[in-house]
Amino acid sequence: MKPRMMMVLCAVMCGALIAACERETRRYKELPAAANRETGVRVSQLEPGMPQQRADVKSPYQENAWGISEGKRLYAAYNCAPCHGVNGGGAIGPALIDDMWIYGAKADQIYATISQGRPDGMPSFGGHIPTQQIWQLVAYVQSMAGEVRATTAAGRNDAQMGAVPESRQPAQTPIQTGHR
């Protein structure tokens, strides 16, 4: 191999290594700057005049494997499973692995759903769960619907696996169904 080729290859590999950093970072304490943003979520789709542009807010943990696995642990710890199903298949609460979203599939909408609650059953967890953990749950909920990269989503369960792992969940186009 020519030295020049060699150098290019090295540069590409170093780039790939650096790209993996975000996936592996564990921010135990400080909240990433993005998480402190106002979510600007709107409960109504009606707006006077021209609809305002909405910032595309992402969960700060969307590209972070540790954050998503923490979300998965919290999903069990905070009793999400009894209503939404152990693997998100749904029970008395709506399923989370399908493409139907009553209150929106965007990260800030999911954040608002967890933090503020929704009519007819979803409790509001704001003030009970720290912001950081809500964002971890948001990333995990998105991973259940195949909306994070397969290389970041969880590939296996510690306990017995009841469904396809999140990393093999096919990507879906979210459908906004609205409330009943």
Partner 1 sequence: MTPHIQSIIHPAGIEAARISHLWWVMFGICAFVWFAVAAATLIAIRRGRHAASAATDRQASFAVASAGVVSVIALVALLTQSVVTGRALDSIRTPDALRIQVTGNQWWWDVQYENPTPSLRVTTANEIHLPIGRPVAIDLLSNDVIHSFWIPSLQGKIDLIPGRLNEIWLQADKPGVYRGQCAEYCGAQHAKMAMVVVAEPPDDFERWLAANRASAPVPVTPEQERGKQVVERGPCAMCHTITGTLAGGHSAPDLTHIASRSSLAAGSLPNSPGYLAGWITDPQHIKPGNHMPPTGLNADELQAVLTYLETLK
Is 116 or 172 the residue whose CB approaches partner 1 more closely? 116
Cβ at position 179, least distance to partner 1 in Å: 27
Question: Should residue 29 be labelled a site residue for partner 1 when binding is judged by CB under 8 A?
Answer: yes
Instruction: Please say whether the beta carbons of 107 and 59 come within 8 A.
Output: yes
Minimum distance of partner 1 from residue 131's CB (angstroms): 8
- In the complex, the smallest distance separating the C-beta of residue 6 from partner 1, rounded to whole angstroms, is 38
What string marks each residue from 112 to 131 as x (binds partner 1 by CB under 8 A) or -? ---------------xxxxx
* Rounded Cα distance, 169 and 42, in Å: 28
Q: Report whether 87 contacts 162 (CB < 8 A).
A: yes
**Interaction residues for partner 1, span 139-158 (CB under 8 A):** 158
Q: Does 168 bind partner 1 (CB under 8 A)?
A: no
Give the nearest distance from C-beta 150 to partner 1 in angstroms.
Answer: 24
Interface with partner 1 (CB under 8 A), residue from 28, 46, 47, 119: 28
CB 101 within 8 A of CB 177: yes
DSSP label of 60 = T
**Subset of 73-112 contacting partner 1 (CB under 8 A):** 73, 77-78
DSSP string, 90-151: -SSS--SSSSEESS-SSHHHHHHHHHH-BTTTB---BTTB-HHHHHHHHHHHHHHTT-S-TT
Closest separation between CB of residue 79 and partner 1, Å? 9
Alpha carbon distance 73, 124 (integer Å): 19
**Residues lying near partner 1 in the complex (CB under 8 A):** 26, 28-29, 73, 77-78, 127-133, 158-159
